[in-house]
Amino acid sequence: MTAVLRPETFRFFRDLARNNRKPWMDAHRDHYQEHVVAPLRALVEALAPAAISLHGGFDTSGRVGANLSRINRDTRFARDKTPYHTGMYVYFTRPELKGDDGQLYVGIAATGATMGFRIYGGARDSTLRRFGRLRGPQSGAWLARESRRLARRYDSYWYATEKGRWTRHSGFPRPEDWQAVRGLVVRRRVSRADAVKPGFLGAVVRVFEDLMPLYRLTAFPEFSQPPT
């Protein structure tokens, strides 16, 4: 197994954080394509067989918006008006849910990489909120066991809305918290040095396999009961 990510990918995001302006990006557009877009598309391609083995409906096209996040920020409602994200994501999701789904993902930024599962759902009829309202209470025992298992291996945090604002909570939601959960992230961090090693791909695949049961339970409407 060969390495896919390069040290230049992380250096690009470090330099972008220091020069987050359109003239700088315009001058370094070729570097962005060579050192960020190309390796991230190669990462999608390398991970695609494992993703398909977990769920045949995952999108593996490699397109921006389907498997790659956008570098451009929407600054209309942001206090920080810098035009570009200083990190990007590779992710696998099911296109038929049109954004109302979880993601198995890899995040790349200047300081290193993260890999894991995340799901958000603020709308009342979102997949996550339906799970919390209808199936979360029935899954308490399994979720409690999963919480203990994941706490040993992953960093976790979740969001609830309090007085109209999203509030972040550390750790894994307790069974009684699920009706209030509006977002959940379960992830593992790795250093830049480890992310450019050949073993990185295998580590990502193991994380995806490890977190897929949680993905299925919280985001797949057809799974009404927790795994045995």
> At CA 23, angle to CA 18 and CA 27, rounded to 5?
90
Among 7, 18, 187, which Cα is nearest to 86's? 18
Percent share of the chain, pLDDT over 90: 66
Instruction: State the average pLDDT over residues 138-149.
Output: 87
* Confidence check: pLDDT of 223 > 60: no
**Residue range of the domain that includes 174:** 7-219
Total number of domains in the chain: 1
8 A C-beta contact, residue 105 and residue 47:
no
Question: Which of 10-19, 49-58, 116-125 shows the lowest mean pLDDT across its residues?
Answer: 116-125
Residue 209 domain flag: yes
pLDDT tens profile 77-103? 778 889 999 999 999 998 876 667 899
Instruction: State the average pLDDT over residues 99-114.
Output: 92
8 A C-beta contact, residue 90 and residue 68:
yes
Residue 93 domain flag: yes
Residue 132 domain flag: yes
8 A C-beta contact, residue 106 and residue 9:
no
160 pairs with which residues across the strands? 167
* Confidence check: pLDDT of 18 > 70: yes
State the pLDDT at residue 221: 64
Residue ranges of E strands in 121-179:
155-162, 165-170
Local structure of residue 84 (DSSP, 8 states): B
d(CA 42, CA 29): 18
Tracing tokens 């999108």 back to the chain, one arrives at 59
State the pLDDT at residue 228: 56
Question: Residue 227: pLDDT band by 50, 70, 90 thresholds?
Answer: low
Question: Which of 13-17, 76-80, 174-178 shows the lowest mean pLDDT across its residues?
Answer: 76-80
Residue 1 domain flag: no
Residue 201 domain flag: yes
> At CA 111, angle to CA 70 and CA 107, rounded to 5?
35
Residue 203 domain flag: yes
Residue 128 domain flag: yes
User: 107 by DSSP, 3-state: which?
Assistant: strand
State the pLDDT at residue 131: 87
Kindly report the pTM of this predicted structure: 0.92
Which CATH number do you get for residue 129? 3.30.930
Residue 226 domain flag: no
Instruction: State the average pLDDT over residues 59-71.
Output: 93
